[in-house]
Structure formats: C-alpha cells, structure tokens
Structure 1
Amino acid sequence: MTLADQPPAAALVFQTLLAHGPLTRAEAGRRTGLSPGAVTKVATPLLADGWITELGRPTVERANGRPATLIAVRAERARFIGVKVTADELIGVLVDLTAQPLAARRARLGSRDVGTVVLAIARLVTQLRKAAGFERAGQEGGGQAGGGDGDGRHGDLQHEGGRHEDDVHSIGVTISGDVDGHTGTVQYSPFLNWRRVPLAQLVETATGTPTVIENDVRALTVAEQWFGAGVGLSSFALVTVGAGIGCGLSIGGRVVSGAHGVSGEVGHLPVGGTDRICTCGNTGCVEAVASTHAITEQARQATGDDELTMDQAVRLAHAGDPAVRAVFARAGHTLGLAMASVANLIGPERIIISGEGVASYDLFADQIRQTFADHAFGAAADCDLVVRPLPFEEWARGGAAIAAQRVFAPSK
C-alpha cells in the first residue's frame, strides 16, 4: 500500500510528522485540526505499513499530565535520489524519507546532448546506490527492472509491487528552464538548449526507477519549505542568483507550479533601463542585467578586457574599480526591483536569497536593500530578506524532496 492510497487525513498527519515530528497523537491532532480519534484511525494503517513508527519512549502530555507515546516518520521506509542538472555537471544525492542525505556524488558532463545526459544520470544513480550499499542487480544505466536487490536479502521488507525497502523508491531530476513536472517534459532549457524533451520517461527507462522532474528553483523551494529557511512560514519566496535569476513561491504552505508549469520567473520581469538582450530573446529582463553571465559581460565592456572572468570582476570591484563597482550596483538595483515586485505581489513573510551568485552578494547587498525599501509598498517593506548560500547538493536534495512529495501528494 502506498501513501497515495490513504485518505487525505492520513497524508496530512504524515506531512505534519515529517515537518514537526516526533509528536504525540494529541499534538498531531492539534496541529492538523483532527480529533484524537481521527488521528488514531489514520495512524493505524500507516503504522502497519511501516510509514510511521512508535518510538517507545513515552512523553508527558501537557494537557493532562499523562504519559503518551510519540509517533514519527520511519526514515528508512523509503529512499530517494535527487539529481540537479547544470550545463556541465550532475550533482546527485541519496536521502531517506526525512530527506537526510545518505550519499552524494558529482559527475562532469562531456556533452549536453540529451542521450549523453540521460546515460550520465543513470550512471550517477548506480554510483549512489553502490555508495549506499544497496545497488540492485542489473545492468548499469540500462533499463533495470524495478524492485528488489535481486539477491533475496531483506525479503521480509518487500513492499509495493516487489520494491524492496532497501532500494530507491523514486528519482527526482531538477533542471533550469520551463519544466512541466506533470507531464515530465522539459519544454525549454536555455542553458542546455533543450526543447520538448520527455526527460522523466527517458530517465525512468534508463534506470528502471520511477522518475519525476521539476524546475530546479521550485525543487529547492520545496526543500526550503520542508527543512530549510522556509519551515513553519505561511508564505515565502526564494530568489536565486546565478547563471539565471530564478524564483520559487510558497503560498499557504504550497509551492506554486503554475497552470502551465511556469511560475515565479522574476528573471524575466521587464524592468527596463537597458537594451541588453536576455537569454529568452527579450530586452530589459532582470536576468539580462543581474545574472553572473550578464555581470561578466558588462564588466568586460566597462574594462575593455574581453577575457575578464566573473572572479576577476569580483576582485576588481573589491579593489575599488569604479566602473566594475557600477556594474554590480546596477545588478543590485535590478534585483531590488525584482524582490520588491515579489513582495508587493504576494506579501511573503521572507525572501530567501541564494544561488551561486551570492558569493559576491556583499558587492550589491546595500543596493538591493535600498532599492527594495524604496519600491516595496507599505508593510511589504517589512519582509525579511535572508541571504542563504547553498551548495548544489542542497538543490539536488530538493529533487529528492520532490520525489518524496509525490509519494503522499501525487497530484501536486
């Protein structure tokens, strides 16, 4: 039995335990709005099927002073793999049901060809399985049949149509661009130059493991909602600064995916003030001014050095070069406008700023905050801005979180 077979109340209790557990049944009821009897009713099959467990150490209920048993998600019940795809590298993690990392690996991409990338993902999945000590029998990256190690071990832990508890339940692949998670299709990824690629099906065929895909920023937003800086917030936004400018939105506890798989594209907000052409083909986009590529190009123009790198531009700015510092100031102003637009539109409690570009955040932090304060409307200016550098392993972990989320919320 899967969590998808359970009633909505069971999924609600499970998600509550995942985010806030271990809890007593009474506390789970208070947090979900369910009666103690309802919590007990939905918890019984979850306990029987091994999704949750009783910890066996009683705690004292505050309301009545009587001992009560804690229930918690059984972390080893399912494992997931998350893979982040960049233009030149794969980053993979294997996690348990509570998204705790068990193994991590990276692999360089020699080509952006779809077939080459899919094969590289399959090899990375095999490496992660080996690192965790439960690689299944079968060919590496060659359409392995689903379920079990094939050697008879842990036969008593078999679940869900032959899948063993010590195997990978599913894979979540994240990629930048226009990604339709519902159909499993990369509609357009500018950095890979992919259009209408059925990536979920290709990876599933290559690995023999159920696969979902998602936009990388939305996946990272799910990760922040579950176990990062968004835990417990009713609404927040995640703005990522790097090769592109992305934004994930969590409103009312749900990450917004958009009717057509497109949402939060603040990198393509037309802020004007520039004739620079964006990767999308339009002019005046935030990304055309504030992405790391755009900053590098503008710094080259400002210095007359066509070979200048981003790292060199950062060093020049730190050394006080006025022309290069002006480039970072323009980027900060543009990002401040984008964040003010997000605050004005959805009124989040917090905007988390992340991505590889935050390594140079100190160069435009003041300008971002000043522009944000100038353009956020009324109380929207009280929105908390938090800088949170995150390695790509955390982005991959977001892919694993997406895969795990589909177990108990497959319609999301």
Structure 2
Amino acid sequence: MTLSDQPPAAALVFQALLQYGPLSRAEVGRRTGLTPGAVTKVVTPLMADGWISELGRPATERGTGRPATLIAVCAERALFVGVKVTGEELIGVLTDLTAQSLASRRVRIDSRDVGTVVLAIARLVEELRTAAGSRSLHGIGVTISGDVDSQVGTVQYSPFLNWRRVPLAQLVEFAVGTPTIIENDVRALTVAEQWFGAGAGLSTFALVTVGAGIGAGLSIGGRVVSGAHGVAGEVGHLPVSGADRVCTCGNTGCVEAVASTHAIIEQCRQATGGLHLNMDDAVNLAHEGDLAVREVFTRAGHAVGLSLACIANLIGPERIIISGEGVASYDLFADHIRRGFLDHAFGAAAECDLVVRPLPFEEWARGGAAIAAQRVFAPDK
C-alpha cells in the first residue's frame, strides 16, 4: 500500500509528523484539526504498513499531566534522490523519507545538450543508488532554474541552459527507471526550508535567492505555491529598477537585469574598463573602495530591496529568507537592500523578518528529494 492510497487526512497527519514530529496523537489532532477518532483511523494503517511508528517513550500531554506515546515518521521507510542542475554541474543527494542527507555527489557536465545532461543525471543517480546498498529508490526529484511545469514534467524555458519545452521528467524516468518529478529549483528549496529550515513552523514566508538569477519561493498558509501557470515567484522580472538594461527575458528594467551575478559583472566591467573582470574581482574592488564598483552594488541592493518590499506588500509574510550564491557578497549591498525594503514596505509589512541564509547547492538538491517525498503522501501538491 502507498500513501497515495490513503484518505486525504493521512496526508495531513503525515505532513504534521514530518514538520513537527515526533508528536502524540492528541498533538497531531491539534495541529491538523482532526478528531481523536479520525487520527486513530489514519494512524492505524500507516503504522501497519510501516510509514510511522511508536517511539516507545512517553511524553506528558499538555494540560493533563498524563503520559502519551509519541509517534513519528519511519525515516528509513523510503529513499529518494534529489538533483540540482546548474549550467556547469549536477549536485545530487540521497536522502531518507525525512529528506535527511545520507550521501552526496557532484559531477561536472561538459555539455548543456539535453541528452548529455539526462545521461549524466542517470549516472549520478546510479552512483547514489549504489550508496543505498540493496535498497531501492522510491522517487527522484530534479530541480532546475527557469519556467518549470511540474504537473506535466516539462521545462518550458530555462535561460541558463537554453532549453525550451523539454519533457525532462519523462526523459529521466525512462533513463533511470524510477518515478521522477521536476520542479523549479527555488520552489524546491522553499519546500526544504519549510520542512527543516528557516521556514519551519511558519504559516507564510518567502525565500528569495540572489545569484545567477533572482527568484522567489512563496509559502502561503503552509503551502508552497506555483501559480496557475507555474511561474509564481518570478520576482527577478519585476520592473522595479528604473534602468534601461536588457534582461535575459528580453524586457528592460527587471531586477535581474541589475542585480544578478552576470548583471553585476557586466556593469562593473563597464565601470572599470576591465573586460576580463569576474565576480571575485568586483567584490575585491568594492571592498578596496572603488566608488564606481560600489555604486553597482548599491543599485543592485536597491533593486533587490524593492522586490522584497513587493513580496511583503503582496502576501504579508512572517519572514523573508535571502539566500543564493550572491549572498557571499551580501555585506556590500545589505544596507541598500534593507533601506529599499523599508522605504517601500507598506505599514506593518515592514515588520517582516529578513533573514540571510547562505545555503550550499546540496541543500537545493535536498529540496528536490523533499519534493519527491512530498508527492508520495500528497500527490496533488
């Protein structure tokens, strides 16, 4: 029996145990809104099939003083692989049902050709499968930057790979022989943060990533949303900068056209005349006091701050988490991000907690595994 065969209440119970467990049955009921009888009806078959178990150590029920046995997800019940795809490499992790990492690998990719990348993913999964010993994989989650329709398993457009309408989930599943789901990488990372990161326990929060692109994942009412067309959270393409720089999407004035890593490098090259300047060079020049370069980071910080204010004004999150490879140079535009945010956040939206959280790409890959695990107990998410 699979979790998807269980009634909808099973998904509520399972997700509560994943995010907050171990819990007593009564606490499960309080967190899910289910009656004690409904909790028992759901828990009994899940225990019989090995998805959850009793820990055998009592807890004291809130307000009663009576001991209660805790129940928890059986982490070893299923294994998953998450893969983060970049333009230069694949990052893979093997996880258990709670998305705890058991093994990880990184491999370079020499070509962005779809067939080459799919073959590289298959080889990476096989390496991680070997690390699992004789145990089989339950699912694979592949995360990729761009416009991803996870429901049909298609990469509609990924500018960094120059892919359009690629049925990636089907291709990987055929190559590997394991159920595969694909998702936008930022949304997958948002699920990871919701389960075990800085978003755990929050009803509404946002994750904004700053780096090769500018993206956002939105968790509203405990659910990470993708929107009707799968592009919710594309804050990098908000026209807020007031600049005439052309974005990768073809429009002008996008946040990404000013604040992405590529945009910052281009602007610093123009400001200094250094045609071969890279991001490390730009950061060093800014720290050394180069005014023209510092102005580039100032504009970038202002644009990002405006995008954060837009998010705060639209959904009223409790917290906005700022991550991505760009936060390595966060000190150069932190003040400008906060100033831009505070100047444009409306009313109580300005009270939103801003948290900077550097995360390696292994955490993004864990997000892919979490997405795959989530589909086991909540197939409609």
* Range of TM-score over shorter length: over 0.9
Distance 1:346 1:63 in 2: 35
Query: In structure 1, how many angstroms separate the alpha carbons of the residues matched to 2:306 and 2:44?
Result: 51
- For 2:136, the equivalent position in structure 1 comes to 167
Q: What is aligned with 2:13?
A: 13
1:211 to 165, 180, 187: 180
CA distance in 1: counterparts of 2:44 and 2:330, whole angstroms: 49
Write the deviation string for residues 354-381 of structure 1: whole angstroms up to 9, x where unpaired. Answer: 0000000000000000111111111111
Describe the superposition over 1:17-76 as per-residue Cα deviations: whole angstroms up to 9, x where unpaired: 111111111111111111222111110000000000011122232333332211100000
- 2:298 is the counterpart of 1:336: no
Partner of 2:164: 195
Partner residue in 2 for 1:96? 96
Q: Which residue number corresponds to residue 127 of structure 1?
A: 127
User: Which segments of 5 or more consecutive residues in structure 1 lack a partner in the other structure?
Assistant: 135-165
Matched, 1:250 2:219: yes
Could you tell which deviates more after superposition, 236-245 or 64-73?
Answer: 64-73
* SS across alignment from 2:102: strand
* Paired residue secondary structure (1:69): strand
Counterpart in the other structure of 1:143: none
Query: Could you tell me whether the CA contact under 8 Å between 2:269 and 2:277 is conserved in 1?
Result: yes
Structure 2 counterpart of 1:154 = none
Query: Following the alignment from structure 1 to structure 2, what is the Cα–Cα distance between the partners of residues 266 and 22?
Result: 36
* Superposed counterparts of 1:41-52, under 5 Å: 41-52=41-52
Task: Give the structure 2 partner of residue 405 of structure 1.
Answer: 374
Q: Tell me, in whole angstroms, the C-alpha distance in 2 between the residues paired with 1:187 and 1:37.
A: 45
- 2:377 counterpart of 1:387: no
Q: Aligned to 1:325, what secondary structure does the other structure show?
A: helix
CA distance in 2, matches of 1:133, 1:317: 49
The 2-side partners of 1:59 and 1:335 are apart by 45
SS of the residue corresponding to residue 221 of structure 1 reads: helix
**Could you tell me the percent identity over the aligned residues?**
82
Q: Give 1:160's aligned residue.
A: none
Aligned alpha-carbon RMSD (Å): 0.8
Note if 1:313 corresponds to 2:308: no
The alpha-carbon deviation at position 272 of structure 1 amounts to 4.0
Once the 2 structures are TM-superposed, how far is the Cα of residue 213 of structure 1 from its aligned partner?
0.2
SS of 2:56's equivalent? Answer: coil
- Give 2:309's aligned amino acid: A
Which one-letter code corresponds to 1:16 in the other structure?
Answer: A
Alignment coverage as a number of residue pairs? 381
Residue 25 of structure 2 corresponds to 25
1:73 maps to 73
TM-score, L = length of structure 1: 0.91
Deviation at 1:261, TM superposition (A): 1.0
Query: For residues 98-131 of structure 1, what are the alpha-carbon distances to aligned partners after superposition, in whole Å with 9 as ceiling and x for unaligned?
Result: 1110000000000000000000000000111112
Q: Would you say the 8 A contact 2:255–2:304 is kept in 1?
A: yes
- 3-state DSSP of counterpart to 1:330: helix
In structure 1, what is the Cα distance between the partners aligned to 2:233 and 2:219? 10
Instruction: Determine helix, strand or coil for the equivalent of 1:104.
Output: strand
Match of 1:82 in 2: 82
Whole-Å Cα distance in 2 between the matches of residues 348 and 60 of structure 1?
Answer: 33
Tell me, in whole angstroms, the C-alpha distance in 1 between the residues paired with 2:327 and 2:378: 33
The match for 1:370 is 339
Give the structure 2 partner of residue 138 of structure 1.
none
Q: Equivalent of 1:302, from 265, 271, 275?
A: 271
Rounded to whole Å, the distance in 2 between the matches of 1:61 and 1:217 is 38
Deviates more, 1:73-82 or 1:54-63: 54-63
Contact 2:241–2:258 (CA under 8 A) maintained in structure 1: no
| C-alpha distance in 2 between matches for 1:369 and 1:59 | 43
**TM-score (norm. length: structure 2):** 0.99
Cα distance in 2 for residues equivalent to 1:36 and 1:42: 10
Q: 1:230 aligns with which of 199, 214, 223?
A: 199
* Matched residue type, 2:47: L
Query: Secondary structure in 2 aligned to 1:55?
Result: strand
